[in-house]
Every structure is written in structure tokens, then in C-alpha cells.
């Protein structure tokens, strides 16, 4: 097969590549949307986290040792019920829920079993049970996870970007990462190639996740160090070091990163470099390739490169584009080989800057996403993290999910894996566009539905 690079060198047109999030190009003229995290906010950011490791697993019979729950028969009056419970000498009685249910604290020295035995003998009591523990979905200890990573777990409230940027969030507008991590955290042998501006391999939240120094096709060397910021941010979203007490959590908890640099220091590049980057990543162990950049022109050589990687069993995920108009960028638009990702926000609304078209497969959070950035870029006085927006930020969420699915199901074909991601998505804009549509595709990805076993009853 003729090398694509050689053919291009023979005189094919060269197309400049725009980087969406950094250059803000596109018809909509989306401004650069980044915000650094000042060190002055450290106090607010470093709220103490509860240690939530080693959650109880389903099936373990843990229950409170000092209280039980009691339900009276429906015909028993509440006043009478409470008098009955007080007559037992319980130190505390509290009505919970509805329908005559109480939580009672056991008397000193009495076990739960003894208390239940005594209560069950009362003919007015319908049910007496231990107060079982619940299992908390696996939550990482990364300090910025709780308050800033709505994309992974959104509990509602306010996204506190800065004093002049306080954004009300919708609870549940997230990709259900914590529930999914209970089942799958990924495999260190599953590698995500970040085809981008390079990666800051010294960043404390990335250093331990880097497979190798990768390859730089702009400068033709084996050092894919980021000289922009974009690739570092994208890499962090996909697979930052998670549960390491540092920074943020990456989607693909245990998976690792292969940096592939396809732009120069200005953030510009060429199709030939992307073609080389995709091909090289597929030949060097990547199971997933993320391409958070692209162009407006269809190119059969670029498509061939995507087909090459696809046929080698590699899942390719790419940003749909930030034009805010009809027209998905390339390579995202190569439907047969690439998952095209639109951007949603902290209320599960599709971002206005997100390009749309029939090629859009799914959406993922891409508005004010906190992720790593090189220290030299953010400057002293700022933490090495940035809030940024763009379909560039949305795409690595899907790349991370693809890596987790690949870790759990190594025998699943690429086409089937892509379908799993599509068909398990949440139709977040069904009130306007029910079913699959050009703006959100099948919907905002749902990691839990893709990775947690579906229970058949």
C-alpha cells in the first residue's frame, strides 16, 4: 500500500487543521473558553473529603448495631404506635417515610436480634427489620472531583468556576461514572492514544499513566510533549490518574495514555500528520484513539487511515466540531469507522457551539470541563488545571468509556463496541427530538448502562 504521506508529498492539497477549543475557529466564532484555577481558590477547593474507599459490596449483611426499623399494621393509630414503642423503653423513636414506619434505637445492652425477636411478637407490628447499610458508588479521592467534575457525577447545585461565573447544575446531568466504576475500572493494558498537540508527561495527574514518550509527527521525533495545552487537557479527561489524591479523576480509571503529537507549537497541523498519527497509534498498541481536532474537507486518505485502524480493532473517537452549524468535521464524519461526539453541558443541554449532522453518534459533557494543563501554560499563581469548553472536551469522555468497555470485553468487535456506546446513551433532548437526532446522536453517554450488568427479573 502506498504510504499516504508520500502521496501527499507529491502535491496533494494540504488542509490546515483548526483546533476547536484553542483557536476558537468555525463559523460560529466561538471564543476561547478556558479558565484557569487560581491558587487563591485552594482553600475552597480543598474541602475535606470523606474517605469513601472500600465500599460495602452487595450481599454483605451489614446493618446498624443500635437501631431497627418497625412498621405497624395499617389499622394502628400513630399515637398508639408511638406509645407502644415508648413502652418498650427505646431511647429514641423516629417516624420515617410514610405508612407507620419507625426507626427505633435499641436499649442499652440489647442486640438487634433480641430487639427484633421482641418486636415481632407484638401482634400490632407488621414488620420489624434491621436497618441495613447502603452501598455508596465508588467515589475517587481526587480533591477536585466532588465540586468541579459535574461531567462524571452531577449532584446539582452551583458549578463555582469563579466569582463571576456561578452556573446552576442539574442533578443527574452526567455520564454516571461512579456507578460504572463499581463494576469496571479498566485495565492498564488498554491504551488510549491521544492524537493531539502532545501531552505534558510530567504533569502530576498524568505522569504515572503515560505509556511512552509517543511520537511527534510535526517535528518528526519520539517526544510528544505538549507545547500548546490542548492535548494535556484532553488526555486528562480520558485517563487522568484517578484516586491518587491529586487533582481530578479520569474517565478510564486504570487505562493508560499514548501521546501522539500531530500539531506544531501554534496548534496547527496537517491531515498528513493526523493520518500518520492514527496509523502509528494503531500499530503501537492503542486500543482506542481520540482525535479532538479535524478539518472541514473530506479526504479519502484520512478515511483510509481511519479504516486501517478500525480494521485493526481500534475504536476511534473524534470531536464533532465547534461550528455550531450543520456539518460534522473530519475524521468524526467518517461514520463507519469513527464515533462523532457532540458536547452537552451541566444541565444535559446540547451546547450551542456543537456542530451537528447525521454523523453525530453521541454527546458527552463539553462545557467548563476541568482537566490538567501544563504549569508553564497556566502560569505561576494558578493550579495546573483549566476549565475549558468544546467538543474537544466531550470526545475524550467517550474515548475513556470505549477503553473501559474494551477492558471488560476484549472479544467484542469494534463495530459492536461502538453500538454499545450508542445504544446505551440517554436521550437527553427527547422532549424536542425524540429518538436519534443530528444534535445529540443517540444521546449523552451513560457509562453505567454500558458497563453495569442489566438485571433481568
Partner 1 sequence: MRHRRRRIGEVLAALVAVFAIGGLPGGADAAAIKIEPVAAGLSFENLSRTVVWSGDEGSAKIRANLIGARADLRLGKGATVSLSAGLSLTDFKALTFSALPVTLELGSPTLKGFFLGAEAVVPIHHFSDFEISGTGRIVYSFAMSKTWTLQDFAVEGQAAGNSSWLEAAAGPRVSYLAFGRIVPFVEVWARWLHAGFDMTETLGDLSGSQARRVRGDLSFSVALGADARVTEHIGVQAKVGFLPYAGGVDGAASVGILYKF
Q: List interacting residues with partner 1 (CB under 8 A).
A: 408-409, 411-412, 416-417, 419-420, 422-425, 427, 435-436, 442-443, 449-457
Rank residues 109 and 435 by Cβ distance to partner 1 and give the closer one: 435
> Which residue of the set 187, 196, 200, 205 is catalytic?
196
- We find the least distance from the C-beta atom of residue 450 to partner 1, in angstroms, to be 7
29 Cβ contact list (under 8 Å, min separation 6): none
For 218-254, b/e burial (b = at least 16 CB within 10 A) is: beeeeebbbbbbbbbbbbbbbbbbbbeebbbbbbbbb
| Cα 444 to Cα 433: distance, rounded to the nearest angstrom | 13
Rank residues 292 and 424 by Cβ distance to partner 1 and give the closer one: 424
- We find the least distance from the C-beta atom of residue 21 to partner 1, in angstroms, to be 27
- We find the least distance from the C-beta atom of residue 93 to partner 1, in angstroms, to be 34
Q: How many CA atoms lie within 13 A of 236 on its CB side?
A: 34
| Cα 149 to Cα 147: distance, rounded to the nearest angstrom | 6
Rank residues 380 and 454 by Cβ distance to partner 1 and give the closer one: 454
25 Cβ contact list (under 8 Å, min separation 6): 18, 19, 322
Say which residue the cell 508527561 belongs to: 201
| Cα 366 to Cα 374: distance, rounded to the nearest angstrom | 20
> Which residue of the set 272, 392, 395, 407 is catalytic?
392
Residue closest to 376 by CA, chosen among 229, 211, 278, 265: 229
Write out the three cell numbers for 422. 450508542
Do 364 and 340 contact (CB within 8 A), yes or no? no
- We find the least distance from the C-beta atom of residue 417 to partner 1, in angstroms, to be 8
**Residue 160 bridge partners (DSSP):** 166
Write out the three cell numbers for 382. 494558578
- We find the least distance from the C-beta atom of residue 454 to partner 1, in angstroms, to be 5
| Cα 388 to Cα 365: distance, rounded to the nearest angstrom | 11
- 421: three-class secondary structure by DSSP: helix
Rank residues 400 and 443 by Cβ distance to partner 1 and give the closer one: 443
Count CB neighbours of 38 within 10 A. Answer: 13
Rank residues 33 and 429 by Cβ distance to partner 1 and give the closer one: 429
Do 249 and 181 contact (CB within 8 A), yes or no? no
Rank residues 33 and 446 by Cβ distance to partner 1 and give the closer one: 446
Residue closest to 247 by CA, chosen among 256, 239, 258, 259: 239
230 is catalytic: yes
- We find the least distance from the C-beta atom of residue 406 to partner 1, in angstroms, to be 12
Return the C-alpha torsion angle 232, 235, 241, 245, nearest 10.
50
Rank residues 289 and 425 by Cβ distance to partner 1 and give the closer one: 425
- 16: three-class secondary structure by DSSP: strand
- We find the least distance from the C-beta atom of residue 448 to partner 1, in angstroms, to be 11
> Which residue of the set 147, 200, 216, 230 is catalytic?
230
Residues classed as catalytic? 196, 230, 392
Amino acid at each position: 500500500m502506498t504510504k499516504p504521506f508520500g502521496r501527499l508529498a507529491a502535491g496533494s492539497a494540504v488542509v490546515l487543521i483548526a483546533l476547536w477549543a484553542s483557536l476558537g475557529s468555525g463559523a460560529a466564532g466561538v471564543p476561547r473558553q478556558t479558565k484557569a484555577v487560581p491558587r487563591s481558590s485552594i482553600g475552597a477547593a480543598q474541602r475535606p473529603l470523606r474517605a469513601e474507599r472500600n465500599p460495602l459490596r452487595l450481599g454483605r449483611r451489614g446493618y446498624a448495631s443500635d437501631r431497627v426499623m418497625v412498621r405497624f399494621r395499617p389499622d394502628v393509630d400513630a399515637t398508639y404506635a408511638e406509645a407502644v414503642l415508648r413502652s418498650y423503653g427505646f431511647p429514641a423513636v423516629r417516624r420515617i417515610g410514610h405508612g407507620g414506619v419507625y426507626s427505633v434505637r435499641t436499649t442499652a445492652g440489647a442486640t438487634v436480634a433480641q430487639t427484633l425477636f421482641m418486636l415481632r411478637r407484638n401482634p400490632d407490628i407488621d414488620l420489624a427489620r434491621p436497618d441495613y447499610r447502603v452501598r455508596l458508588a465508588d467515589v475517587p479521592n481526587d480533591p477536585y472531583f466532588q465540586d468541579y467534575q459535574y461531567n462524571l457525577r452531577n449532584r446539582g447545585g452551583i458549578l463555582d468556576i469563579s466569582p463571576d461565573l456561578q452556573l446552576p447544575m442539574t442533578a443527574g446531568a452526567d455520564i454516571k461514572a461512579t456507578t460504572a466504576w463499581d463494576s469496571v475500572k479498566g485495565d492498564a493494558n488498554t491504551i488510549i492514544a491521544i492524537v493531539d498537540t502532545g501531552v505534558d508527561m510530567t504533569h502530576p495527574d498524568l505522569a504515572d499513566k503515560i505509556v511512552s514518550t509517543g511520537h511527534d509527527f510535526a517535528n518528526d521525533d519520539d517526544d510528544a510533549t505538549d507545547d500548546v495545552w490542548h492535548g494535556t487537557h484532553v488526555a486528562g479527561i480520558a485517563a487522568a490518574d484517578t484516586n491518587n489524591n491529586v487533582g481530578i479523576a479520569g474517565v478510564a480509571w486504570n487505562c493508560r495514555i499514548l501521546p501522539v503529537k500531530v500539531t506544531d507549537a501554534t496548534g496547527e497541523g496537517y491531515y498528513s500528520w493526523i493520518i500518520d498519527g492514527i496509523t502509528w497509534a494503531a500499530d503501537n498498541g492503542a486500543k482506542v484513539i481520540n482525535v479532538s481536532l479535524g478539518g472541514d474537507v473530506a479526504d479519502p486518505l484520512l478515511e483510509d487511515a481511519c479504516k486501517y485502524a478500525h480494521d485493526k480493532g481500534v475504536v476511534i473517537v473524534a470531536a464533532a466540531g465547534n461550528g455550531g452549524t450543520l456539518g460534522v468535521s473530519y475524521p468524526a464524519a467518517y461514520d463507519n469507522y469513527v464515533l462523532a461526539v457532540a458536547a452537552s453541558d451541566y444541565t444535559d443541554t446540547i451546547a450551542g457551539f456543537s456542530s451537528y449532522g447525521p454523523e453525530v453518534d453521541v454527546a458527552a459533557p463539553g462545557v467548563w470541563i476541568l482537566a490538567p494543563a501544563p504549569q508553564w501554560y497556566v502560569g505561576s499563581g494558578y493550579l495546573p488545571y483549566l476549565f475549558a469548553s468544546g467538543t474537544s472536551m466531550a470526545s475524550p469522555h467517550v474515548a475513556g468509556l470505549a477503553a473501559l468497555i474494551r477492558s471488560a470485553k476484549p472479544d467484542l468487535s469494534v463495530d459492536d463496541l461502538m453500538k454499545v456506546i450508542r445504544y446505551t446513551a440517554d436521550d437527553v433532548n427527547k422532549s424536542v427530538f425524540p429518538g436519534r437526532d443530528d444534535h445529540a446522536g443517540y444521546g449523552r453517554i451513560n457509562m453505567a448502562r454500558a458497563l453495569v450488568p442489566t438485571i433481568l427479573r
